[in-house]
Structures are given as C-alpha cells and as structure tokens.
Amino acid sequence: MSIILKTPDEIEKMRVACRLASEVLDYITPFVKPGVTTGELDKLCHDYMVDVQGCIPAPLNYAPSGYKPYPKSICTSVNHQICHGVPGERQLKNGDIVNLDITTIKNGYHGDTSRMFLVGDVSIQARRLCDITFECLWRGIAQVRPGAHLGDIGHAVQQHAEAAGFSVVREFCGHGIGARFHEDPQVVHYGDPGTGVALRPNMIFTIEPMINAGKAAIRTLADGWTVVTKDHSLSAQWEHTVLVTDSGYEILTVSSGMRQPPEWIK
C-alpha cells in the first residue's frame, strides 16, 4: 500500500477543492424538492461547477477498471439506492430520501463530499436512518488522530450502526484522495480497533459510511453503476474528506451550509 502524505502546498489545494465541493451541495439544496428530476439536479450542479466555480466534475466520464464511463457529473442515490445512482428522468417525490455525491477537481486536486436530503415529509424510519448515519460519520471522524488506526474508524461506525439495528455496507469504503480520485488507503466502515494502517499527519482520506435500514446485502443494476439494497430497504450515506493533523483532524469539505457536527463533537 502506497499512501501519499500531502505537502503543505497540496493540502492548501485540497482545502480549496473540498470547500468548492461542499459549496455545490449548499447551492443545490433549495432545488431538492418534490417534482425535480435527478437529471435536472445533475445539470444544475454541472453548470455551477463548470461556469461558476471553474471546476471539473470528477465523476463525468470516470472509468475505473471494469466499469464503463460514468455518464453524469454527480451521483444521485434515492431511497434503496446505496451509491453511484445515475441521474436521469426520475422525479423526486414527497417522502423520498436522496444522497447527492459531489466530487470536484480544481487545480488538479479532488474534493469529495456527500449529504442526505429529505424530500418533503419523510417517515420516522427514514429520518432516523439519515440521522444515525450522520452520527456514524462523526463517530468515525472522532477517531482520527496520529497513531490511531483505520480499524478504530471502522469499529466506531459499525458499533453505532448495529446498535441502532442497521447494517453496514462492506463492498464500498472511504479512500485516500488527492491528485487522484481514489488513492490508498481504503477506509472500511467496519472492523476491530487497533487494526489496520496507523494514521500519520498529512494523510487525507474520505470517511463515507453507507448504512442500510435492512440487511447489508447489495446488488448492482443493469446500468453497471447504481448499487441498491438487495432487500429493497432504505440506505443512507454521508461523506467528508478529512486531513490527519499533528494533533487530530481537520474537515476539509466545509461550507456555510453544511450540517453542523453533533453537539458531543463540540
């Protein structure tokens, strides 16, 4: 495993790219309402990234080994879609939950973040799933400090999700990020404390737990990208890009409209 420790100049470039990614989510928030299509949300985000921010939407035409090029600029995962939902003609309706996943490229560096959006009046279960998943994200983040291990992050996420009666998706994980979209290390959202890679200052990676209301099993749709729960249960995800500092962590994907951390973090 080759983990790239970022230089001060690279960290500053990452701060910019990550802030811009979070600001895309701020921008799109008022448009996420019943009747809008996921394709319309994609177009709005694309135009904002390209025309206003001067960014490149990283997902557009992204083609990792074994995949055909991703056809859109953001991912829109609705209800039982776990991740990589491809925007299209689907209209959001009252009661839906949707994850919007944004990755920008600015000055050669990537910023990656996602949020859950509640469309209209959602069920108690849907709201609880989104809230618990947000707490899982922050329980993972709270483990980040030099000398801690990746397993500490995964364990904290898994314990909180399973205590709430939910399950953790295991096939997808957080990842190192920088000049490349996906770098080492892989940051899984389950595991045992004290295991895995030890964290060092200037590592940058995402934490992005995907939590299912039902069982953890998944399947991929015919488009080759959209991943859904096998039992059709709801799924939620939140994501931040995190820098390991000398004394703890710094959230890089910050913006004025982001959901604030839980009170116990402060």
Residues 129/99, Cβ–Cβ less than 8 Å? no
On whether residue 62 sits in a domain, the answer given is yes
Closest by alpha carbon to 212, among 141, 151, 136? 136
Q: Report which residue type is found at 51.
A: D
Domain count, the chain: 1
Q: What is the CATH number of the domain that holds 204?
A: 3.90.230.10
Which pLDDT does position 66 carry in this prediction? 87
- Structure pTM? 0.97
pLDDT of residue 265: 86
Instruction: Note whether residue 61 is domain-resident.
Output: yes
Digit-coded pLDDT (tens) for 110-155: 999 999 999 999 999 999 999 999 999 999 999 999 999 999 999 9
- When the pLDDT of each residue in the chain is averaged and rounded to a whole number, the result is 97
Does any domain span residue 264?
no
Question: Which residues, 6+ apart, have CB-to-CB distance to 61 below 8 Å?
Answer: 69, 70, 71
Does residue 256 lie within any of the structural domains?
Answer: no
Examine residue 266 and state whether it is found in any structural domain, yes or no: no
- 131 in a domain, yes or no? yes
- Residue 45 has φ and ψ, to the nearest 5°, of -65, -45
Give the whole-angstrom CA distance, residue 18 versus residue 241: 7
Q: Among positive and negative, which fits the CA dihedral 17, 108, 144, 240?
A: positive
- What is d(CA 178, CA 182) in angstroms, rounded to the nearest whole number? 8
- Give the whole-angstrom CA distance, residue 77 versus residue 57: 17
Q: What angle do CA 94, 100, 103 make, to 5 degrees?
A: 170
Tokens matching residue 245: 């500092």
pLDDT score of 154: 98
Residue 258 domain flag: no
DSSP string, 211-261: EESS-S-EEE-TTSS-EEETT---EEE-BEEEEE-SSSEEE-S--TTSPPP
User: In terms of Cα–Cα distance, which of 143, 111, 45 is closest to 252?
Assistant: 111
User: pLDDT tens digits, residue range 195-221?
Assistant: 999 999 999 999 999 999 999 999 999
Q: Per the domain annotation, does 52 fall within a domain?
A: yes
SS3 at position 106? strand
Q: Structural domain of residue 105, as residue ranges? A: 8-251
